[in-house]
Every structure is written in structure tokens, then in C-alpha cells.
Amino acid sequence: MNRLMTRHLDIGYGDIPIVQDLNVEIPSGQVTALVGANGSGKSTILKTMARIMKPGSGNVLLDGKSIHQQSTKEVARQLAILPQNPTAPEGLTVSELVTYGRFPHQKGFGTLTKEDKQMVEWAIQITGMEPFHNRPIDQLSGGQRQRAWIAMALAQGTDILFLDEPTTFLDMAHQLEILMLLDKLNEQEQRTIVMVVHDLNHASRYADHMIAIKKGKVVQSGTPAEVMTPGVLRDVFGIEADIVPDPRSGVPLCLPFDLA
């Protein structure tokens, strides 16, 4: 059974509707990629599913309960989100940043328990940030900084992780570094990962499930093979493309050659 789903979700900014009557299910224990053109509503949907935005109507259900009717701390113990381009106070170290991830579990004056410290150490270790744990965030490379933020999200100890374009502004090597880390977290920790992905081929390579969105509506969802088709790409992105198998994994790759 899938733990996370939306039912008849309407989302907008003021009087401007962005998403209407959205019904999606997020496969538990898999990596899901939301794809679509700029302005299609991907990030809006992600933020609403993560309880950052409130829908105009409809529900986001987590284990059958509306997340917008649960307390912030209750939801934060179950899901974590890494927004686009997060910023940290000047001078904040990696260890200090990751410690913030334990806030939903703390009581009273927020003293770290033994379990809190173990989770912080584990999150720093699994993201490969041990050599930088005392280094200020603003002295890290883009890829290191992104791994530090992912470590903070992991320290929350949630089964569900949301990421809004986690590879934005990173060079090719750092993009692969982040995507391979997320793949490792999914395989070894069975985390449910939902991410907005700009690069279609990254989505196909690293996601089990894809949801293609156009103007706030789902055009197609399913495996990469079901979503990465010439017809879907023509409809969603307005491009003509050849779909070829990845020579190593066999997943479909997109080679655009013209505008539709």
C-alpha cells in the first residue's frame, strides 16, 4: 500500500489556479521524479505534498490522514523536504546544520539526546561529509553544500524525502554525485524519495516512477518506459525526440532534435 497520495487537490496563488483536481499516488520505497516544463506546477505540487503550501481544496493523505490537519512536528517526523537553493546563516558548520534536523524530535529546551547525536553522526557519515563536519557551509563547494543539506534532511529520521531540483546549478560531476547518493539512500535505506527533476535523462536513469505534468495536470505517470515516449514528450515539452535505450542499463533516454 502506498503511504502518500493526493485526492482532488486544487492549488493556486491568490485567484490564479495552478493545479486542479490532482490525484496521484507516490509508490512507497521507490524514487519518484516529477517532470514537466517550467511553470507546469511541479514545485507547487511538491511543496503542497510536503505541507509547505496549503491547497485550496482536496487533501494530501499520509497513511490515510490529511497532512494539513496534523501538527508541524508530527508531519516533520514522517517526511523531510530539501527546497531549492536553501541558505544557511554565515559561519554555520556542517555539524550544526545537520543537528537542526533533530528539531522535530526534541522536547523542552532542545538538548540533544544520545539518539539525536547518533542520527546526526549517521547522516554525516552516509552522505560522506565526515571530513567537512567542522567546516562552515559557506566554505563548501556546491556539491558538498548540497550533501550537507541532504544530511540535515536525513537526520530527521523520516521514511519520505522530498527534494526540489536537487542538482540545480551543479556541474555534471556534482549532479551525478547527488543522484548516486539518493540512489544509495533508496536502495540501502528503503527511503521513499520524491524529487522535481529538470533533466529528463537523469529522471529516467535514477527514478523508478515518473509523473509528467503539464499546466498542473498529470499527462502520464508510470515507469520511465511508460513516460519517456515521443508522444508524451511532444505533449508535455513541445519537442520532437528520439527515444533510445541506455547502453548500460537499458532505460529510455531522450534525444531531442526539433520543436514540435
Tell me how crowded residue 27 is: count the other CB atoms within 10 A of its CB. 15
- 179 within domain boundaries: no
Boundary residue ending a domain (157, 181, 198): 157
**In-domain check, residue 38:** yes
Mean pLDDT of 144-165: 95
Is position 176 within any domain? Answer: no
**Regarding predicted confidence, which is higher, 150 or 2?**
150
pLDDT, tens only, 42-71: 999 999 999 999 999 999 999 999 999 999
Residues sharing a CB contact under 8 Å with residue 65, sequence separation 6 or more, in sequence order = none
Structural domain harbouring 203: 1-78+160-165+189-260
- pTM, two decimal places: 0.94
Residue 206, domain member (yes or no): yes
Q: Answer whether residue 183 is part of any domain.
A: no
In a domain, 256, yes or no: yes
CA distances from 148 to 102, 111, 125 (A): 14, 22, 10
Same domain, 92 and 120: yes
Residue 155 clears pLDDT 90, i.e. is over it: yes
Q: Which three cell numbers stand for residue 47?
A: 511543496
193 and 68 share one domain:
yes
Say if residue 14's pLDDT is above 90.
no
pLDDT grade, residue 260 (50/70/90)? confident
Question: What is the average per-residue pLDDT within 146-170?
Answer: 94
Which pLDDT tens digit goes with each residue over 173-219? 999 999 999 999 999 999 999 999 999 999 999 999 999 999 999 99
CB 239 within 8 A of CB 222: no
DSSP structure class, residue 3 = S
Q: What is the model's pLDDT at position 41?
A: 96
Asked which of 157, 178, 212 is the last residue of a domain, the reply is 157
pLDDT at 137: 97
Q: Read off the pLDDT band of 169 (50, 70, 90).
A: confident
The pLDDT score that the predictor gives to residue 106 is 82
Torsion of CA 38, 40, 42, 43, to 10 degrees: 60
Same structural domain for residues 193 and 234?
yes
Pair 9, 67 in one domain:
yes
- Write the DSSP string, 191-219: -EEEEE-S-HHHHHHH-SEEEEEETTEEE
pLDDT number for residue 110: 66
Q: Say which CATH number the domain at 226 has.
A: 3.40.50.300
Same-domain check for residues 5 and 28: yes
* Structural domain count, the chain: 2
- Tell me the pLDDT of the chain averaged across its residues: 95
Residue 160 has pLDDT above 80, yes or no: yes
